[in-house]
Amino acid sequence: MTSQPLTAPTADTHCPYCALQCAMTLTATPGERLPVEVSGREFPTNRGGLCKKGWTSAELLSRGDRLTSPLVKQPDGSFAEASWDEVLDRIATTATRIQADSGRDAVGIFGGGGLTNEKSYQLGKFARIALRTSRIDYNGRFCMSSAAAAANRSFGLDRGLPFPLADLGTAEAILVLGSNMGDTMPPFVQHLQGARARGGLIVVDPRMSTTARLTNDGAGTHIAPVAGTDLALLLGLSHIVLNEGLADERYLEERTTGLAGFKRSVAQWWPARTESVTGVPSQTLRDVAHRLAAAKNAYILTGRGVEQHSDGTDTATAAINLALLLGLVGREGSGYGTLTGQGNGQGGREHGQKSDQLPGYRKITDPAARAHVARVWGVVPEIIPGPGLPAVQLLQSCGEVGGVRMLLVHGSNVVVSAPDVSQVRESLSKLDLLVVSDFFLSETAQMADIVLPVLQWAEEEGTMTNLEGRVIRRRKAVTPPDGARSELWILRELAQRLEAPGTWSLDPSEVFDELARASAGGLSDYSGLSHALLDTGIAAHWPYAAGSDGTPRLFQERFAHADGRARLVAVRAHPPEAPRGADLNLITGRLLEHYQSGAQTRRVAELNDANSEIVAQIHPVTAQDRGIADGGRVRVANARGVVEARVKVTRDIRPDTVFLPFHFAGDESANLLTSAKTDPISSMPEFKNAVVTVEALTP
């Protein structure tokens, strides 16, 4: 059964995919194959444009494989339909039994960065006071955690872009590291046109990606460093800025601390040494540093390519340090920002899904924060557990002695998206009970003991927070199929069965009002917002305290540390895992047509037909050395796993590197090869640095 159109002719909402959250209008189409027609809507981020994923998003609403009834795994591995009461009773009874036997932390929750703010908030609340478990984290740990950790220690606050996206239009120079927004969020590219017109777009990427290609014809500079050497590159740029008189000395004196120690940390990264490590010519490094320093308006933007490393926090910190040296952060027309990936990657980490946070971006270890949130929840602070395990460690603990025995997964497809997925699959198979909430039978849902059918984006009310920290309204456009339920309803039903304290509203606006109260006084303060206010169309950038007009531009007068100053944090580069002999660096990334684990986009024929299988990109020299033909097949392998892929031979990649997209499942999952090694500060996995062998397969 598919969703049905509402009687209202149109609904203004936002795209179900990335954090750009492009505005769209859904128009009912009674009697047509699709229940609604999608059109782009004027909005500051997309200016009426949509990408392929957005234009085809309505296809998901009419899929014949939509889940419409709870499913229970049978002894032979098949699924049988069950009633809601049956599955909810079993979930609650099993959780109670396991926690009585093995303690509260034997039951865990894994959330998602695509959930609305209301569902993210309620999920964190459910974990803490219904299950009273500390074992909750979410897939945003795989996305923004390093950039968030870096911003918190440098600025005292983390918001992906601390300025409106439209501000980029005035830039004379923009340095982009680790992001291919030309494929991942195409409407973003229009905000780069000002820098391109001035020849000031600088893209750092081991591939000639779609975004790197925007630098052609005098529009800018493409830098292709050795994979995994972004930190050394940034340290080298900072060395040049300091030693060639390019730093903003007045800004550093008035607005930062830590300069002396920072200078010592970059002293060893003179241009020739940086070139020897990164492969980037010294003169190119100097040209980039001088271009950024000379620009009246300049920005530095980072993405997952430089952050998904075991030193990702230090790399993001190095980018922030460079921005501070140049006096960009908080200066009108300039700045530093990081590009949130998932649709609600920003809001999803602010209100309680993250293992160490309470609503409002509060630390769960802070007694005052615990007391405030406890008052809103109507409980005593003592029942709120302490910090839990971040995502990789949470998944690793599944099925282990003293670890998680029952896991509830909401909005995530971890058997495709997590690192070292062979180990993740093995861990999930050891659980006493795996419960997955989804609207399709994703690869993770296929492993579940119980699958709960939930609502899609166009079937629910709520809010999202985009990459600018702008809180926006998601609106219901179609009636969901009979049998599917909102996570708010599921959490209320389970909370009642577990005899949990507090209130568990089904109304997203009421849940948002509670979220706003819980966030009051926190770093991400939503207390001045409500669904009713957002429905007026205001630009609502948090912090948006009661009585305020929000904060579209952060750090203009002070940073969020107690002394109001930013921190220059000394970081050091360590050699990444490097290929030996004929081995290659593996980098993974996204394709224009697909999103995240592909659980949604692989179900859209137009998108899947364009990229229906995993394809490895290899340089012609590399291919010739190995006897690999364009269009042939290769075996990409390391100690963790093996992936067989078709080949595209292209000069768009370094000869020492192979690229694989991560949207495919089963034996085509690129994450069979990635490492579960994590950053010691952010717990970000090492997605972007693995060493592999590549050999031709016999036709």
- For the chain, percent of residues with pLDDT exceeding 90: 94
Instruction: Dump pLDDT digits (tens) for 93-103.
Output: 999 999 999 99
Contact predicate 683/145, CB 8 Å = yes
Rounded Cα distance, 328 and 339, in Å: 17
Q: Across residues 61-75, what is the average pLDDT?
A: 95
String of DSSP letters for 628-652: PPTT-EEEEE-SS-EEEEEEEE-TT
- The three-state secondary structure class of 71 is strand
Residue 105 gets the label, from left (phi > 0), alpha (psi -120 to 50) or beta, of alpha
Contact criterion met (CB below 8 Å) for 322 and 293: no
Cα distances (angstroms) measured from residue 413 to each of 56, 356, 519, 564, 633: 21, 22, 29, 40, 27
Query: CA-CA-CA-CA torsion for 311, 593, 220, 277, nearest 10 degrees?
Result: 30
In tens, the pLDDT along 33-55 reads 899 999 999 999 999 999 999 99
Output the CA angle 90-96-102, nearest 5 degrees.
125
> Helix (H, G, I), strand (E, B), or coil: what is residue 695?
strand
Q: What is the spatial distance between Cα 20 and Cα 14, in angstroms, rounded to a whole number?
A: 9
**Res. 6 pLDDT band, cuts 50 70 90:** low
The pLDDT assigned to 4 comes to 64
Mean pLDDT of 86-97: 98
For 339-343, 399-403, 646-650, which range has the lowest pLDDT when averaged over its residues? Answer: 339-343
Q: Residues 231-257: what's their mean pLDDT?
A: 98
Q: Are strands 23-28 and 10-14 parallel, antiparallel or unpaired?
A: antiparallel
**Angle, CA of 283, 288 and 292, to the nearest 5°:** 150
Of 468, 144, 538, nearest to 304 (Cα)? 144
Q: What b/e readout covers 546-573, taking b as 16+ CB neighbours within 10 angstroms?
A: eeeebbbebbeeebbbeeebbbbbbbeb
Tens of pLDDT, residue by residue over 403-423, are 999 999 999 999 999 999 999
Q: Give bridge partners of residue 337 from the DSSP assignment.
A: 301
Amino acid making up residue 448: A
Q: What value does the CA radius of gyration of the chain take, rounded to a whole number of Å?
A: 24
**Is residue 25 pLDDT above 60, yes or no?**
yes
Phi, psi (deg, nearest 5) at residue 395: -65, -40
- Position 95 scores a pLDDT of 98
Q: Which domains does the chain have, with CATH numbers?
A: 4-62 (2.20.25.90), 71-143+345-534 (3.40.50.740), 146-338 (3.40.228.10), 584-696 (2.40.40.20)
pLDDT band at 578 (very low <50, low <70, confident <90, very high): confident
Among the residue ranges 365-369, 476-480, 518-522, the one predicted with the least confidence is 476-480
What residues form DSSP beta bridges with 454?
A: 485
In angstroms, the Cα distances linking 1 to 56, 65, 444, 480 are 19, 8, 22, 9
Q: Half-sphere exposure of 519 toward its Cβ, with a 13 Å CA cutoff?
A: 29
C-alpha 4/C-alpha 459 separation (Å) is 9
Give pLDDT, residue 477.
Answer: 93
- Cis status of the peptide bond prior to 543, with omega within 30 of 0: yes
Half-sphere exposure of 525 (CA within 13 A, CB side): 16
pLDDT of residue 144: 86
In 3D space, the residue among 158, 141, 160 whose CA is nearest the CA of residue 149 turns out to be 158
For residue range 664-687, what is the model confidence (pLDDT) as tens digits? Answer: 999 999 999 999 999 999 999 999
CB 105 within 8 A of CB 388: yes
Least trusted range by pLDDT, from 311-325, 336-350, 505-519: 336-350
Check residue 505 and give left, alpha or beta (phi > 0: left; psi -120 to 50: alpha). Answer: beta
Enter the pTM of the model: 0.96
User: What is the pLDDT at residue 7?
Assistant: 52
Give whole-number Cα distances, 332 to 171, 197, 412, 449, in Å. Answer: 11, 20, 38, 54
Is residue 351 pLDDT above 70, yes or no?
yes
Q: What is the pLDDT of residue 340?
A: 87
- Residue pLDDT, tens place only, 609-653: 999 999 999 999 999 999 999 999 999 999 999 999 999 999 999
How confident is residue 331, by pLDDT bands cut at 50, 70 and 90?
very high
Evaluate if residue 654 carries a pLDDT over 80.
Answer: yes
- pLDDT 10s digits, 512-569: 999 999 999 999 999 999 999 999 999 999 999 999 999 999 999 999 999 999 999 9
Residues 352-366: tens digit of each pLDDT: 999 999 999 999 999
How far is it, in rounded angstroms, from Cα 682 to Cα 285? 29
With a cut of 90, say whether residue 3 has pLDDT above it: no
Place of tokens 């899947």: 608
User: What pLDDT was estimated at residue 30?
Assistant: 85
Whether 143 shows a pLDDT value over 90: the answer reads: no
Give yes or no for a contact between 698 and 629, defined as CB atoms under 8 angstroms apart.
no
Mean pLDDT, all residues of the chain: 96
Place 577 in a pLDDT band, splitting at 50, 70 and 90: confident
Per-residue pLDDT at 156:
97
